[in-house]
Amino acid sequence: MSELNVPSQQPSFAPEPSVRRPLRIAIFGFGTVGSSAARILVESQPEGLELTHVFNRGVARKRVDWVPSSVEWSEDAEAVLSSDVDVIVELAGGLEPAGSWVRRALNAGKSVVTANKKLIAYHGIELERLAAAKGGDLKYGAAVAGGIPVIPGLEQGLAGDRIERVEGILNGTCNFMLSKMEEGAEYAAVLATAQARGYAEADPTEDVGGFDARAKLAILMRLALRAEINPEEIVPKPITEISAVDFSYARDLGCTIRQVARGERSGEEIAATVGPMLVAQRSPLAWSRGTENMVVLSGRYGGNVVFSGHGAGGNPTAVAVVSDLLALAHGSRRVDIPSTPGHVGAEFEVPHYIRFRVVDRPGIVAEITGALAKEQINIRAIVQKSGYPQEALPFVVTVEPCKSSALSRALENIRTMDCLLDEPLDLQMLE
Amino acid sequence: MSELNVPSQQPSFAPEPSVRRPLRIAIFGFGTVGSSAARILVESQPEGLELTHVFNRGVARKRVDWVPSSVEWSEDAEAVLSSDVDVIVELAGGLEPAGSWVRRALNAGKSVVTANKKLIAYHGIELERLAAAKGGDLKYGAAVAGGIPVIPGLEQGLAGDRIERVEGILNGTCNFMLSKMEEGAEYAAVLATAQARGYAEADPTEDVGGFDARAKLAILMRLALRAEINPEEIVPKPITEISAVDFSYARDLGCTIRQVARGERSGEEIAATVGPMLVAQRSPLAWSRGTENMVVLSGRYGGNVVFSGHGAGGNPTAVAVVSDLLALAHGSRRVDIPSTPGHVGAEFEVPHYIRFRVVDRPGIVAEITGALAKEQINIRAIVQKSGYPQEALPFVVTVEPCKSSALSRALENIRTMDCLLDEPLDLQMLE
C-alpha cells in the first residue's frame, strides 16, 4: 500500500495541499464525541491529520492533559475560523450557532466534517453547494447511525444501484427503551433507566417523539432515494403510548416493537414515516438490541443490504468523524448522488395493529368491525388474551394492508364509542 | 446537489479530465456480472459513465441488442487496451490472462475496476502500487461480498477505527448449502441442488473447500487488520464432512453451522482460518440464509459493525462495479489504508465441538476424555442423542476454549482408537 507521504506513489491528480502536509484540524465542541475524536487522533495518529485547535465555550474547564501542548484551546470561534486550519469538525449540534460556523468555514474554502444531523437535514443541500462552489468539502458520515458506515456505503458502494426503500432503527434511545420493554418493563420505568444511564435527556421529546430519527431519515432519503424533502413533512409518531401489553400481543403475532423510520419512492411518489411499528421477530429490524442502530436499504438491482452496529456514543461517532477526516486527507471526494426536490405525499399500504382498551360490554367487536368494513378494510385477526380485568380490557385487531388515511377515518368513527378507555393505538406492521 | 457537468459547482481540485467528459469504459468479460453491469449502465445512464467497448472471446455469440450501437464488441484484447478507453472493467476472473490485462491497463495510466478476488488477494498490493505510480486507480469493491459495501465501508467509513477482528460468511454457495442442511437435508443432496441452480460448479472444490472464502478473507485482512498476508498461509477446512446429525447436535447446543472466515490481530500476532463452525443461533452470523453474505468487523473504538446482503449474483456484483465506476468519475480516490506484511502464526483460543462416530462399547468416553485431559483441555459437555444405532453411534464432546494445536495432539491419540468409524469432526464454536 502506498504511504501517504511518498510522492512517487501518489497519483498526479491527488489534491496537492492535503497530501503535502497534514490537514490542520479544529474541533468545535469538546463534549463526548469531540473528546473521543481528539483521543483517536492523539492515540492512533492517523497519517495526514493534525489536531491544532479545540474550540468550546468556557474552554478552561474542558482542557485535558493527554492532548499535545501544541493544540490551541480557544473560546473565540471567530479567531479559530479565521486561522490557518484546513478543516472544521463541527460537533456542537443544533442549527445555530453551528450553522454560522459551518458557513463561515466553507465560505473561506475550508472543509467541514460534522455529526450535526439537524443542520444537514435542514440545510445540507445549500451547504454542499456552498462547499462545492468554494472548493472545500462537506462530510457528515457521523450524522446518521454514527459508527455504522451507511453514508459512505451509500455514496461509494451503492451509488450504482437505485434504492427504492430505506428502513432504519436510527435512534438508540428509543431502541434501548423498546428492547427493555420487550423484556417486560413499562414505559415510565425504562425512561427513568435511560435517563439515569445518560441515554435519554431530561426532556426526552426529541428522541421519543421521533424528531431525531426524522432528521436522520430525511438525510438518508436524499442519499438513498435521491429525494430532497423538508424533514417537517414527515409526521413522527411518539413511542410514548406503547405499553407492556403491546409487547405481549406483538409476541403472540410473531413480532416485536421498534421505532422505525421508513421512506419509499416509486417514481415521483414518496412516502415517509417515523414511529413505533410491529416488526417480525425474524426480520433484521428485530435483531437490533439496546442502543444499536440498523439500516436496511432495498435496491432495484442489489436487493436488500443491512447495516448494523453502534449508532451513537462517543467512540463510534468519533470513528465516523476521523474516517471522514482521513477521506479528506486522501483526497477522496464525495460521490455526488444526484437528487431532486420531492414531497412526502404517498401513503404506505401495510397491515396495521390496532389495540383498544375498553370497558367490556356486548357488541363492541361488531361496532369496531363495522366501522372498519365501511372503509373497505379487511380484518386479519382479532386477538384477546385472557387475564385482564373486564373494566379495562385490552384487545387487538389486525387488518390487511390498507392506507393510513382510510384507517384514520375508521378510527374517527370508532373513537366515538363510549366504551373506549383511551385512544386506540394504531401501529404499522412490517413484514 | 451539484450536477456532474456544472463546472461552477465543482471544486477546483477535482480531477479535470474525468469531470469534463464521461469516462470511457471497456468491459472485459461479458458473462453474468458483465452483462448486468452493462445493463445498469444502459438502463440507469449514470452521469459521467459511457460504455464504449465489450471484450470477450468469441464475442459474436455474446452480442445483445439492448446495448447502444456505438459500443464496440471486440475479441482483440490488445486493441481495446490500446484504445482511448479510460477504465477497464475486468470481470474475466482468475490470475491470467486477467492479470496481464490489468497490468497493461494500469501501465498505460488507465484505471481498473475488477471483481477478481483471486487477483487482488494474490497481487493486490503490487497492482495498487502500479496504479498509484502511473496515475490511475484500482478499485475492487466487487471482489468481496459483491453487493454489500464492505470495502467502501472499510476504506471510507471505518478507516478511523482500528479493526481487531473480522468474521465473515463470504461464500454464498456454502451458505446456501449449509442453510439447506439446517432444514434437514444431507450434503450430497444439497450439493446436487446447488449445482442444478447454478450456485455450485461441477467441481465445487473452490467453494466447499474454502479457497474462494480464503481469497476474500485475505483481502479483508489487509483492509481491516492492515496485515498483508499470503492467502496460502490460511489453511481452509472443507464443509464436506458436515452431516445432518451435526445440525441436530448444533441445534441442541443453541447453534447452527456456517462456513466462517475469520481473522484476528493483536499487535503482530495474526490468526486466520476458514471453515465450517458452530455459531450461536442468536449471533449475527446465524442470520444469513441462502446465498447471502455477511461481514462482522470488530473495532477498538466503534465496536461491532455488521454488513449483510447479497454477496454474489450478476446484479448485486454489478452494483459494486458501477459504484466503483461512479467513484472514479467523481474523482473519489481510495483512502489508502496503511498495511504491513504479516504472517498467520497465532491460534484462536475458542471452544470446540468434536463429533465422533463409533461402534459403541464400554470405556469410549473414558479414553477420549483421558486423551483430552492429557493436553489440559477441559470438557464442557458430552452430548449423546438417542435414536442412533449402536454400531454407528454419533456423539459429541464440547470443550472449553483451547488452542487448535493442543486439540490436534489429543485427536492424534484418539484417532488410534479401534472403535472410531471415521475421522472425528472438529469445529470451532463462535460465541
| Domain of residue B216, CATH code | 3.30.360.10
Q: Which residues contact B36 (CB under 8 A, 6 or more apart)?
A: A301, B314, B315, B317, B318
Identify the pLDDT of residue B7. Answer: 34
- B379: exposed, middle or buried (C-beta count within 10 Å: 0-12, 13-18, 19+)? middle
Note whether A1 contacts B153, CB cutoff 8 Å. no
Cβ–Cβ < 8 Å for B239, B208? yes
Note whether A2 contacts B129, CB cutoff 8 Å. yes
- Closest residue to B1, CB basis, from A287, A301, A336: A336
pLDDT band with cut points at 50, 70 and 90 for residue B4? very low
Q: Cα(A113)–Cα(A91) distance, rounded to whole angstroms?
A: 9
Nearest to A317 by CA among A169, A149, A200: A149
Q: Which residues contact A322 (CB under 8 A, 6 or more apart)?
A: A37, A40, A41, A44, A46, A49, B159, B160, B161
The H or E element containing residue B24 is strand B23-28
Helix (H/G/I), strand (E/B), else coil: A416 = coil
| Residues of chain A found within 8 Å of residue B324, distances taken between Cβ atoms | 160
- Cα of A367 to nearest chain B Cα, Å: 43
- Closest residue to A149, CB basis, from B156, B333, B338: B156
Nearest to B418 by CA among B354, B355, B359: B359
pLDDT band with cut points at 50, 70 and 90 for residue A6? very low
Q: Cα(A106)–Cα(A136) distance, rounded to whole angstroms?
A: 6
Identify the pLDDT of residue B288. Answer: 87
- Cα of B46 to nearest chain A Cα, Å: 8
| Domain of residue A124, CATH code | 3.40.50.720
Lowest pLDDT segment from A18-22, A112-116, A180-184, B100-104: A18-22
Q: Are residues A189 and A105 in the same domain?
A: no
Distance of alpha carbon B220 from the chain centroid: 8
B389-395's contacts with Cβ under 8 Å and 24+ in sequence apart are B390/B359, B390/B360, B391/B359, B391/B360, B392/B357, B392/B358, B392/B359, B392/B421, B393/B357, B393/B358, B393/B359, B393/B360, B394/B245, B394/B249, B394/B355, B394/B356, B394/B357, B395/B355, B395/B356, B395/B358
Q: What are phi and psi of B403, to 5 degrees?
A: -75, 145
Q: Are residues A166 and A298 in the same domain?
A: yes
User: What pTM was computed for the model?
Assistant: 0.92
Q: Are residues A179 and A280 in the same domain?
A: yes
Note whether A309 contacts B309, CB cutoff 8 Å. no
DSSP E strand boundaries for A292-373: 292-299, 303-310, 340-341, 349-358
Residue type, A274: V
| Residues of chain B found within 8 Å of residue A1, distances taken between Cβ atoms | 125, 128-129, 222, 228, 336-339
The H or E element containing residue A278 is strand A269-280
Measured between alpha carbons, how far is residue B214 from residues B120, B206, B268, B359, B401 in Å?
A: 12, 10, 20, 36, 24
Whether the predicted pLDDT of A340 surpasses 90? yes
Note whether A309 contacts B304, CB cutoff 8 Å. yes
Identify the pLDDT of residue A431. Answer: 81
| Residues of chain B found within 8 Å of residue A151, distances taken between Cβ atoms | 157
A248 within domain boundaries:
yes
Cβ–Cβ < 8 Å for B94, B116? yes
| Interface confidence (ipTM) of the complex | 0.91
Domain-terminating residue out of B284, B311, B338: B311
A124: nearest CA in chain B?
A: B1
The DSSP code for A170 is -
- A–B interface: beta-carbon pairs under 8 A: 265
| Residues of chain B found within 8 Å of residue A307, distances taken between Cβ atoms | 153, 305-307
Q: Cα(A161)–Cα(A179) distance, rounded to whole angstroms?
A: 33
Identify the pLDDT of residue A65. Answer: 94
Note whether A309 contacts B287, CB cutoff 8 Å. no
Identify the pLDDT of residue A335. Answer: 81
Note whether A160 contacts B319, CB cutoff 8 Å. yes
Residues of A marked active site are found at 216
Q: Are residues A159 and A38 in the same domain?
A: no
- Rounded to an integer, the average pLDDT of A39-48 is 94
B334 within domain boundaries:
no
Tell me the pLDDT tens digit for each residue of A170-210. 999 999 999 999 999 999 999 999 999 989 999 999 999 99
Q: Cα(A353)–Cα(A244) distance, rounded to whole angstroms?
A: 15
Whether the predicted pLDDT of B8 surpasses 50? no
Identify the pLDDT of residue A7. Answer: 34
| Residues of chain A found within 8 Å of residue B332, distances taken between Cβ atoms | 155-156, 332-335
Nearest to A102 by CA among A75, A71, A134: A134
Measured between alpha carbons, how far is residue A174 from residues A151, A200, A277, A360 in Å?
A: 21, 9, 12, 32
Cα B227-B230-B233 angle, rounded to 5 deg: 105
Q: Cα(B112)–Cα(B134) distance, rounded to whole angstroms?
A: 12
B288: nearest CA in chain A?
A: A284
Cα maximum dimension of chain B: 85
Note whether B306 contacts A307, CB cutoff 8 Å. yes
Return the axis-axis angle of helices B314-329 and B32-44, rounded to nearest 10°.
Answer: 50
- Cα of B370 to nearest chain A Cα, Å: 41
| Residues of chain A found within 8 Å of residue B141, distances taken between Cβ atoms | 156-157
pLDDT band with cut points at 50, 70 and 90 for residue B16? very low
Whether the predicted pLDDT of B18 surpasses 60? no
Q: Are residues A367 and A296 in the same domain?
A: no
B162: nearest CA in chain A?
A: A44
Q: Are residues A133 and A154 in the same domain?
A: no
- Cα of A368 to nearest chain B Cα, Å: 39
Domain-terminating residue out of B100, B116, B139: B139
| Residues of chain B found within 8 Å of residue A152, distances taken between Cβ atoms | 149, 152-153, 155-157
Q: Are residues B124 and B241 in the same domain?
A: no
B13-19's contacts with Cβ under 8 Å and 24+ in sequence apart are B13/A15, B13/A16, B13/A135, B13/A331, B14/A333, B14/B330, B14/B331, B15/A13, B15/B331, B16/A13, B17/B86, B18/B48, B18/B86, B18/B328, B18/B329, B18/B330, B18/B331, B19/B48, B19/B329, B19/B331
Chosen for mutation from A332, A337, A339, A340 (greatest number of chain B CBs closer than 10 Å) is A332
Total domains in the fold of chain A: 3
Note whether B336 contacts A2, CB cutoff 8 Å. yes
- Rounded to an integer, the average pLDDT of B164-173 is 96
Cα B146-B289-B175 angle, rounded to 5 deg: 65
A332 within domain boundaries:
no
Note whether B160 contacts A8, CB cutoff 8 Å. no
- Cα of B148 to nearest chain A Cα, Å: 6
Helix (H/G/I), strand (E/B), else coil: A121 = helix
Dihedral, CA of residue B248, residue B421, residue B193 and residue A431, to nearest 10 = 10
Note whether A334 contacts B337, CB cutoff 8 Å. no
Within 13 Å, how many C-alpha atoms sit on residue A373's CB side? 6
- Cα of A200 to nearest chain B Cα, Å: 20
Note whether B308 contacts A310, CB cutoff 8 Å. no
Within 13 Å, how many C-alpha atoms sit on residue A404's CB side? 14
Number of separate helices (H) and strands (E) present in chain A: 14, 17
A176 within domain boundaries:
yes
Q: Are residues A101 and A170 in the same domain?
A: no
- Cα of B394 to nearest chain A Cα, Å: 31
Domain-terminating residue out of B139, B172, B206: B139
Q: Cα(B101)–Cα(B81) distance, rounded to whole angstroms?
A: 7
| Residues of chain A found within 8 Å of residue B123, distances taken between Cβ atoms | none
CA Rg value for chain A: 24
Chosen for mutation from B41, B335, B340 (greatest number of chain A CBs closer than 10 Å) is B335
Cα B351-B352-B354 angle, rounded to 5 deg: 155
Q: Cα(B251)–Cα(A313) distance, rounded to whole angstroms?
A: 35
Cβ–Cβ < 8 Å for B107, B87? no
Cβ–Cβ < 8 Å for B171, B295? no
- Cα of A158 to nearest chain B Cα, Å: 6
Identify the pLDDT of residue B14. Answer: 35
A412 within domain boundaries:
yes
Q: Cα(B191)–Cα(B290) distance, rounded to whole angstroms?
A: 13
B135: nearest CA in chain A?
A: A11
- Closest residue to A333, CB basis, from B306, B309, B331: B331
| Residues of chain A found within 8 Å of residue B322, distances taken between Cβ atoms | 159-161
| Domain of residue A396, CATH code | 3.30.70.260
Q: Are residues A113 and A134 in the same domain?
A: yes
Identify the pLDDT of residue A51. Answer: 98
Q: Cα(A162)–Cα(A339) distance, rounded to whole angstroms?
A: 12
- Closest residue to A147, CB basis, from B8, B36, B303: B303
Nearest to B279 by CA among B295, B248, B252, B257: B257
Three cell numbers, residue A268: 415521483
B60 within domain boundaries:
yes
Average pLDDT of chain A to the nearest whole number: 92
B148: nearest CA in chain A?
A: A305
Note whether A332 contacts B147, CB cutoff 8 Å. no
| Residues of chain A found within 8 Å of residue B46, distances taken between Cβ atoms | 159-160
Q: Are residues A162 and A287 in the same domain?
A: yes
- Cα of B142 to nearest chain A Cα, Å: 9
A47: nearest CA in chain B?
A: B338
- Rounded to an integer, the average pLDDT of B315-320 is 96
Whether the predicted pLDDT of A103 surpasses 60? yes
Per-position b or e across B279-317, b if 16+ CB within 10 A of its CB: bbeebbbbbbbebbbbbbbbbebbbbbbbbbbbbbbbbb
- DSSP codes, B49-115: EEEEEEE-TTGGGG--TTS-TTSEEES-HHHHHTSS-SEEEE-S-SSTTHHHHHHHHHHTT-EEEE-
CA Rg value for chain B: 24
The H or E element containing residue B352 is strand B349-358
| Residues of chain B found within 8 Å of residue A149, distances taken between Cβ atoms | 149, 152-154, 156-158, 305
Residue A247's domain spans which residues?
A: 150-307
Note whether A333 contacts B338, CB cutoff 8 Å. no
Tell me the pLDDT tens digit for each residue of B41-100. 999 999 999 999 999 999 999 999 999 999 999 999 999 999 999 999 999 999 999 999
Higher pLDDT, B19 or A2: B19
pLDDT band with cut points at 50, 70 and 90 for residue A12? very low
Q: Cα(B201)–Cα(B93) distance, rounded to whole angstroms?
A: 15
Residue type, B46: P
A255 within domain boundaries:
yes
Tell me the pLDDT tens digit for each residue of A55-76. 999 999 999 999 999 999 999 9
Q: Are residues B102 and B160 in the same domain?
A: no
- Closest residue to B159, CB basis, from A131, A136, A326: A326
Note whether A330 contacts B334, CB cutoff 8 Å. yes
Cβ–Cβ < 8 Å for B275, B260? yes
Cα B337-B340-B341 angle, rounded to 5 deg: 140
Q: Cα(A275)–Cα(A261) distance, rounded to whole angstroms?
A: 7
| Residues of chain A found within 8 Å of residue B36, distances taken between Cβ atoms | 301
Q: Are residues B119 and B43 in the same domain?
A: yes
B99 within domain boundaries:
yes
Note whether A1 contacts B128, CB cutoff 8 Å. yes
B241-244's contacts with Cβ under 8 Å and 24+ in sequence apart are B241/B276, B241/B423, B241/B425, B242/B178, B242/B181, B242/B187, B242/B276, B242/B425, B243/B186, B243/B187, B244/B181, B244/B184, B244/B185, B244/B186
